[in-house]
Amino acid sequence: MIYFDHSAAPPVDPRVVDEMMPYLGERAGNPSSLHRLGAEARGALDRARGRVAGLIGAGPGEIVFTASGTEADNLAVKGLAQARTNQGRHIVVSSVEHHAVLYAAKAMERQGFTVTLVPADGDGVVQPDQVARAMRDDTVLVSVMCANDETGTIQPVREIAGIAHRHGAAVHTDAVAAVGRLPVNVNELNVDALSLSARPLNGPPGAGALYLRAGTRLRPQMEGGVQEEGRRGGHENIPAIVGFGKAAELVADELPARIDRLKRLDESLLRGLRDRLPDVSINGHPRQRVSGHLNLWIPEADGESLVLMLDARGIAVSVGSSCAAHASKASHVLLALGRTAAEARCSLLVTVGPDTGESEVEEALDALAEVVGELRAIAGVTV
């Protein structure tokens, strides 16, 4: 199988699996326990926390482990807003956020908050001046993602953070799609909270984290324990967190080579598309995006049909966000960019990883050109 769905579920690095295995067996222990195995688990948790923190320029005490990026987004949006009700009840988020942020904001509306959705432009960029217009005296939180999980478009988070802070609001960014494909530093971004996940780093499922700047107030959302310094109750998933830490360490060491590899694969994909399907265009910003992440608009070719036809040829691609792939609705991100519902359904998400081969790119492009031609022939259209 040629795998071009790395944004949804990249394979776990074997080096990560090797580091996790002892904590599924002989080193299994509760970090809250006083015995030797508990101390070993506590040490493993601390090492992982330091590794994840180091990847994004944070301090170990600023990392709160969660079960996923989705949970980290919910903890940030709900927890930061609820901790600031004495300042106001207004939240600003962009229209192209992951559903984890959008739905969390919607939940806050049910608690009496007001939410302003800031639009993106035709390239999917949230312009800072639009955020400035949305700010109010009672704004307590601004959440704009670092890079979009569907289009890969990189957002001007630092500029947006400056605007929000001048109004006294906290700033959160969802960096799940950015960390591992871009250098991400919380101090350079000037954010108060940042969500990330192990999976995009070729780490295990079941591990996410929220960076929370020291001194930033947060109301916990998971009650029932004092783990994570009281910020997230529940027994920590030590094997997954250990894997997260190892994946973070590997990415930190290999990021320049990883980015270079993804850029070269990106160039091969674009060059091959121009040769085979010149009418295909990119959804999102053509240059201000993470490499190896292409959301393609393919006129007169239904995206779901393309996924199934390519799957029959041994090639795995996607139609968009993994969290909304079964929704059977047009992508809210593509609609926000100005695509019609019909156009959004003629889109395909192709994401490669650092281990993707050049020959795989060529084979997948040949197959894509074939199935697009077949679909158009069935429909009796020419482009």
User: Which positions are annotated as active-site residues?
Assistant: 323
Sign of CA dihedral 291, 284, 5, 184: positive
Phi, psi of 87 (to 5 degrees): -95, -30
Interior angle at CA 382, CA 378 and CA 383, nearest 5: 130
Task: Locate all alpha helices (DSSP H) within the chain, ordered by sequence.
Answer: 14-20, 36-56, 69-82, 99-109, 128-134, 157-166, 186-189, 238-276, 303-312, 332-336, 341-344, 358-379
- Which helix (H) or strand (E) segment holds residue 212: the answer is strand 208-212
- Token readout for 128 is 């800072």
Nearest to 197 by CA among 310, 71, 357, 322: 71
The Cα diameter of the chain in Å comes to 71
Burial letters 157-189, b for 16+ CB under 10 A, else e: bebbbebbeebebbbbbbbbbbbbbbebebeeb
d(CA 63, CA 59): 7
- DSSP secondary structure code for residue 256 in this structure: H
Sign of CA dihedral 185, 252, 352, 11: negative
d(CA 67, CA 197): 9
CB 204 within 8 Å of CB 16: yes
83 Rama class: left (phi>0) / alpha (psi -120 to 50) / beta:
alpha
Kindly report the number of other CB atoms within 10 A of residue 300's CB atom: 14
Nearest to 374 by CA among 315, 283, 305, 314: 305
Nearest to 195 by CA among 67, 19, 51, 324: 67
